[in-house]
Every structure is written in C-alpha cells, then in structure tokens.
Amino acid sequence: MPIPHENQTRTCPNCGEPVPPGAKQCPSCGQVLGTGPRSRWWWLKSLTPTEIFLLVIGSLMLSVFLVAV
C-alpha cells in the first residue's frame, strides 16, 4: 500500500483509512480530525514560489533599510 504524500487525500491518524478533504470526522471510525499544525501555515502553502520569493526579498529589503537608517 503506497503512502500518500502531499496531496488532497488525507489519512485518518486512528485507522489509516483515507479521509475526504475537508472532512471533520473519519468516515470509517468516527475519529474527530483536528486541523492540526498545518492550519497555521495553510496560507504559506497557497502561495506561489514567486510570491514566497517576493516575500523573502521584501522582508530582506526592509531589514536592510532599517539597518541602513
């Protein structure tokens, strides 16, 4: 059985059955699924590499500016 990587399908931490995206509860065993630590960085994953690059450059420029002044 292949282990799913970063895709839409999640697996239940209790029984290992696939859980449909957005499900609050496991359809197989009824395990309540928390959003977990990934919810904190959901916005980061929704960013494109270009946006992340601009974000990094922007914060870098800001810190350089603050040091220079």
Q: Which residues bind Zn ion (CB under 5 A)?
A: 12, 14-15, 17, 26, 28-29, 31
Residue with smaller CB distance to Zn ion, 15 or 56: 15
**7-18 burial code (b ≥16 CB/10 A, e <16):** eeebebeeeeee
For the bound state, the minimum distance from the C-beta of residue 41 to Zn ion, rounded and expressed in Å, comes to 24
Residue with smaller CB distance to Zn ion, 14 or 59: 14
For the bound state, the minimum distance from the C-beta of residue 55 to Zn ion, rounded and expressed in Å, comes to 37
